[in-house]
Amino acid sequence: MANDTDTVAFDVIDGIAWVRFNRPDKRNAMSPTLNRAMMEVLDELEFRSDVGVLVLTGEGPAWTAGMDLKEYFRETESEGLKGVRRSQRESYGWWRRLRWYQKPTIAMVNGWCFGGGYGPLFACDLAFAADEAKFGLSEINWGILPGGGATKVAVELLPFRKAMYHALLGEPIDGKTAADWGLVNESLPLAELKDRVTEVAKILRAKNPVALKATKDAIRRVGVMTYDEAEDYLVRAQEAANSFDNDGRKEGIRQFIDEKSYKPGLGAYDK
């Protein structure tokens, strides 16, 4: 099943939704139109039974060159605060939706990733980059601070000194450096990127989907909690997950203890 709009395209193949920023001529800069289209696409895909994993990537040489300086900034600012707040809601809205998405998500960063692009980068649960990709907090280069969550993403993902250097200098780093710094999980040659992401997506697809959603939310939630708060949250989160999936974990135990058909330390049970 394929779908194309002007600014966002997607295909669903073998349980993986391949969603693409689709303004290659504008280096996939996020315009208000693209932000609205992305929310619609996320909405359409989130609860589809034929979608197990969502991959976010870009058409052409960019993942995304960040916010569209003309359409997102200059044109909405000309409408006054009403226009500015509306375009913020639209962009922050789909990034937030993606952070708490029902399905596991992977950023497949094929090329340029700047500024506002750090919002969806962080929103994706995992991130794989091409060695050839370039990442930058370029805001300082045109005279603003890294807003729209970009500063928060840098501080969440990078050590203090690297976050400060990255934001103050505005120098782009390549995919390998992004992996060394922890912005992405791995970097590999562009020619190998899609195969690796497909491999990871297939591994995720084989796992219990209720447990995946509970786990990804837990990883995002517990960071700001005390140990005791986290312990309590995790007990309740597992009990809530049990009410959606009564049999999954019992089957997981049965296949290991009774059937001896797999080892949980080495892979997933057969769901």
Q: Which of 90, 125, 132, 139 binds ligand ACO (CB under 6 A)?
A: 139
User: Are 179 and 196 a contacting pair, CB within 8 Å?
Assistant: no
Binding characters for ligand ACO, 88-127, by CB under 6 A (x = yes):
------------------------x-xxx-----------
Minimum Å gap between C-beta 66 and ligand ACO is 3
- The candidate with the shortest Cα–Cα distance to 127, out of 77, 197, 221, is 197
Sheet holding 173-174, edge to edge: 62-64, 112-114, 134-136, 173-174
Note the Cα 11 to chain centre separation in Å: 17
Side chain identity at residue 169, one-letter code: L
What's the closest the beta carbon of residue 157 comes to ligand ACO, in angstroms?
Answer: 17
Name which of 29 and 173 has its Cβ closer to ligand ACO.
Answer: 29
| CA–CA separation, 89 and 132 (whole Å) | 32
Q: At closest approach, how far in Å is the CB of 64 from ligand ACO?
A: 8
Q: Does 175 bind ligand ACO (CB under 6 A)?
A: no
Q: How many residues does the chain have?
A: 271
**Cβ distance to ligand ACO smaller for residue 72 or 269:** 72
Q: Which of the residues 14 through 43 are near ligand ACO (CB under 6 A)?
A: 26-27, 29
The conformation of residue 114, written as its DSSP 8-state character, comes to E
Window 141-160: contact mask with ligand ACO (x via CB under 6 A): -------x------------
Q: How many CA atoms lie within 13 A of 119 on its CB side?
A: 25
Q: Rule CB under 6 A: is residue 168 a binding residue for ligand ACO?
A: no
Site size toward ligand ACO, by CB under 6 A: 17
- Segment near ligand ACO (CB under 6 A); pick from 40-48, 61-69, 244-252, 257-265: 61-69
Whichever of 15 and 60 has its CB closer to ligand ACO, that residue is 60
d(CA 154, CA 184): 12
For residue 109, give the 3-state DSSP assignment. strand
Residue with tokens 């091409």: 130
- What's the CA angle centered on 54, arms 189 and 193, to 5 degrees? 5
* Residues of the shown chain interacting with ligand ACO in the complex, contacts defined by CB under 6 A: 26-27, 29, 61, 65-70, 112, 114-116, 138-139, 148
